[in-house]
Structure 1
Amino acid sequence: MLELNLARRAPALSPVASEAGVKVATLDAVGRLALRVKAAALAGRASVDGFDLSGAINSRSASGESGGERAALRLGPDEWMLLVPADETDERLEAVTAALTGVAHSLVDVSHRDVTFSVEGRGADAVINAGCPIDVSPSAFPVGSATRTIFGKAEIVLARRAADRFTVTCWRSFAPYVQGFLIEAAKDTL
């Protein structure tokens, strides 16, 4: 029944903060490039167009200033999500394609598909664990971790950006459900 009630809610237009100080906010759009390439095909290259692809599976490697940050989330043995400022998406798509000339790969702009929420504050991990089955304690999911998982009934990409800050990325069609769930969980944090 909770899922039905949450699914009916329209997304909030402004950030919501719980009494315990957990803030849930929709983040501005960023460019997202889904890259699939066999690690062996990279021929020992640790980076492509400045994206660090050498990180362990379920990790996030970032470079650049906070306003112009680029990041590579390694979600599987041959899968990365490359994040770029929205206005650089086409340029980075072309540059990564050029850098991988002659290498079998798939690179797709999926920027339009996703919405990202920030969950931050003391108790942010409890909000995430309200709908996510993985252990997000700092020892099991430290800063710099990123993974594909589920939240409630929606698939998400979860990243820990700081000790008390996570990003939750989901498909746009699941955004009202995920946002509603996050808001309700934030209200319940102690």
Structure 2
Amino acid sequence: MLEFNLARRAPTVAPIASDAGVKITPLGPQGRLALRIRPAALAGRNDLGGFDLSGPINSRREGGDGEASRDALHLGPDEWMLIVPADEVEERCEAVSAALSGAAFSLVDVSYRDVSFSVEGPGADAMINAGCPIDLSLKTFPVGSATRTLLGKAEIVLARLAADRFTVTTWRSFAPYVQGFLVEAAKDGV
């Protein structure tokens, strides 16, 4: 019951906008599934339960129909984060498990663990780069990119949704730090 309540708890601060027009907005609850499977077991199975797993490492693929977006972030050789609407977690778990029948895999609902923020506006990449060691220029980290990295001292999953829009996802316990870091970077006009 505690996990269920934590999944619905919102981050601590309301949306923030910098003087430069970058907005930091806490996102509502989302379903997140951690999938681990050897690439050889995926041979010929790129569409699993509504998720497109065909992208290379450090990519984000959109799937789903209409407003029910199902994103697949390929974070490592055998690791994906699958993002679904919060009310579809069980349904998607069953669909992915059925599609992988006979294969060895791990699929874990980690929805309660993470919190996400939308960071968007001109200079959003520079603001995130205030604490992120990777080059976030559009040429190096294009739209559709996703990776696990650091923001300051916290681990994050970073996805680029548009030229000036990112999603920053972190563990719930790191959320106040990550949000505070982003707010300070916005205040500094980075």
TM-score (norm 1): 0.91
Look up the match of 1:45: 45
Whole-Å separation in 1 of the counterparts to 2:160 and 2:94:
29
User: How far apart are residue 101 of structure 1 and its match?
Assistant: 1.1
Distance in 2 of aligned mates of 1:21 and 1:12? 21
Say if 1:65 and 1:94 are closer, same or farther in 2 by CA, change over 3 A: closer
Residue 64 of structure 1, CA deviation: 3.3
Contact 1:123 1:189 in 2 (8 A): no
Structure with the greater relative contact order (CA < 8 A, sep ≥ 6): 1 or 2?
1
- Give structure 2 stretches of 5+ with no counterpart: 1-10
- SS, match of residue 40 in structure 2: helix
Q: Where does residue 110 of structure 1 map in the other structure?
A: 110
Q: Match of 1:92?
A: 92
Match of 1:68 in 2: 68
Q: Counterparts of 2:168 and 2:50 in 1: how far apart (Å)? A: 24
Matches within 5 A, 1:118-137: 118-137=118-137
Stretch deviating more after TM superposition (113-122 or 65-74) = 65-74
Query: Helix, strand or coil for the counterpart of 1:69?
Result: strand
Structure 2: how far apart are the matches of 1:171 and 1:67? 25
Aligned length, in residue pairs: 180
Matching residue of 2:165: 165
- What is the match of residue 156 of structure 1? 156
1:41 alignment partner, SS class: helix
Q: Where do 4+ consecutive residues of structure 1 move more than 4 Å?
A: none
Shift of 1:65: 5.3
Query: What is the Cα deviation at residue 44 of structure 1?
Result: 2.1
Q: What is the TM-score with the length of structure 2 in the denominator? A: 0.91
CA deviation vs aligned residue, 1:85-109 (integer Å, no higher than 9, x gap): 0000011111111111110000000
| Maintained 8 Å contact 1:126/1:189 | no
Counterparts of 2:75 and 2:97, CA distance in 1: 20
Q: Which segment drifts farther, 165-174 or 34-43?
A: 34-43
**Equivalent position SS for 2:68:** coil
Q: Quick one: distance in 2 between partners of 1:95 and 1:12? A: 34
For 1:32, give the aligned amino acid.
Answer: R
| Counterparts of 2:120 and 2:189, CA distance in 1 | 12
Report the CA distance between 1:46 and its aligned residue.
1.5
* 1:13 CA displacement: 3.1
